[in-house]
Homo-oligomer: A and B are copies of this chain.
Amino acid sequence: MEEITIRDIARMCGVGVSTVSRVINDHPDVNPQTRERILSVIQKSGYIPNNSARNLKRTEARSIALVLKDIRNPFFTSMIDLLEVEVRKRGYSLVPHRVRAGEDEVDSAMEFIKEKRLQGVVFLGGYFRNSVEKLRMLRVPFVLSATGSMPDSESFALYSSVSVDDKKGSGRLVQHLIDTGHRDIAILAAERDEKSVSGLRLEGYLDTLEKNGIPIREELICRMDPDIAFFSSENGYETTKKLLDRKVRCTAICAFSDMVAIGVCRAVMERGGRIPQDYAVTGFDGINLSRYYTPSITTLRQPIEKIAEATVALLFERLENGGENRNLLYEGELLIRESTAGGILIETD
């Protein structure tokens, strides 16, 4: 059960290892006949080069790490392909790296980069609670993509980031609710001081209420259940049931993601509530599913194409020209659908 190596192939072909290496790596300067012969032996023997050895030697792998924290959220999974296309356009490949729930994404990324000799990193989602400092120790360019537009301006220069304008987007959703007559608007969010997308979206909610002279009622700010996955419908469902049980005055519910909004809708309907007549509901992200749910969900669609493109552009700008850190914010698109507008809407695209 011995592994077959490049030396075995060389011996079998009666050539030197470097010739075999040249064939494997598509180098020129190999006699076409020799190349054919070597290729066929490789084929027959089922030889596969050992990538660890290659990585060890190679100085540049022309690869970018994609660090993912939450693989469950469809919003993130749908961005993977977009990022990959952008990276490939530049002749690089994208190597995904999933970070487990308990792990620190930055520590994990550092090991991964070293192992694979990667030239850059895209962090997709994640929280970076305590690791903003650690990010600086990364020895390659990196971009935080869709991780929320972290608001503390002091740390702005420390990294590049591309996100939707979470605060503004959330504000637009709330304004839409206010414009359609709602004043008693609940919101499902994480911790208040959280520097995550959830925190930013909560800020947008608070600001917009204030701007419209609507007093903020703490009882309408619902904490998600920390023991259930954050972006899950289940969490939205359970949290909403608790809200409804409290029987506070409320005619609209904002969820901070579409997946959560689905759970909200279900909880409302199981309690006999009609959407949007009894409760208007909004989501966030604009995943495909939000359109196929019934009622279809009013949401803020993130411009994932733009975000993916800008993320990679920014990364390569830094990679190739050593450019400065920049923090980009894109506007989302407000999609008004059945969960706030009523009736069955048929979308054509």
User: Which A residues have a C-beta under 8 Å from some C-beta of B?
Assistant: 1, 3, 46, 48-53, 55-56, 71-72, 74, 77-78, 80, 84, 96, 98, 100, 110-111, 114-117, 137, 139, 232-234, 237, 262-263, 265-266, 269-270, 272, 288-289, 291-294, 296, 344, 346
The answer to whether A50 and B114 touch across the interface, beta carbons within 8 angstroms, is yes
A117 CA to B50 CA, complexed, in Å:
9
A42 CA to B337 CA, complexed, in Å:
55
The answer to whether A265 and B294 touch across the interface, beta carbons within 8 angstroms, is yes
Query: Which B residues lie within 8 Å of A53 (CB)?
Result: 52, 56
When A and B form their complex, which 4 residue pairs have the shortest distance between CB atoms, in order from nearest?
A: A51-B115, A52-B55, A266-B292, A233-B292
The answer to whether B50 and A115 touch across the interface, beta carbons within 8 angstroms, is yes
The answer to whether A293 and B262 touch across the interface, beta carbons within 8 angstroms, is yes
A234 CA to B292 CA, complexed, in Å:
8
Q: Could you list some 13 contacts between A and B, CB below 8 A?
A: A1-B139, A46-B137, A48-B110, A50-B114, A51-B111, A55-B115, A71-B77, A72-B77, A233-B288, A233-B289, A234-B288, A266-B293, A266-B294
The answer to whether A294 and B294 touch across the interface, beta carbons within 8 angstroms, is yes
Indicate which residue in B52, B71, B98, B292 contacts A262 across the interface (CB closer than 8 Å).
B292
9 other contacts beyond A48-B111, A51-B52, A265-B294, with CB at 8 A cut-off?
A: A50-B56, A50-B114, A51-B115, A72-B77, A72-B78, A234-B292, A262-B292, A266-B293, A266-B296
